[in-house]
Amino acid sequence: MNALFIGTVSEIPERGGKVVRIGELELAVFRLSDGSFRAVENRCPHRGGPLSEGVVSGQMVYCPLHEWKIDLTDGKVQEPDFGCVQTYPVEVEGDRIRIHLDGMKATG
């Protein structure tokens, strides 16, 4: 399994995001209010807005450019808009956060 350590729990504020770069891949990793973590590609499908700078509400992130609402669980843009972003499995072990790059969850 291709899991990479990307930081610690304390580095990501509740209902906040962090940019993680892995080679040419740029991810947005979020800590939700329930304590869980989600990772998606850091690019809104609409105009490429940086999702890591978006507002997190529940399981959703709002793109900072045009407020497209994206489900962080499956990567799908919510109606009336459409599209999706790639999601990545996240594992938390103690205070360490890992992203799984193989076995990526296909979306859309």
38 lies in some domain: yes
41 lies in some domain: yes
User: The domain spanning residue 78 has which CATH number?
Assistant: 2.102.10.10
Domain count for the chain: 1
In one letter, which amino acid is 52?
S
85 lies in some domain: yes
92-101: per-residue pLDDT in tens?
Answer: 999 999 998 8
Predicted confidence at residue 106, as pLDDT, reads: 37
Cβ-count burial of 65 within 10 angstroms (0-12 exposed, 13-18 middle, 19+ buried)? middle
30-84: per-residue pLDDT in tens?
Answer: 999 999 999 999 999 998 889 999 999 999 999 998 989 999 999 999 999 999 9
pLDDT of 14 over the 70 cut:
yes
Predicted model pTM = 0.86
105 lies in some domain: no
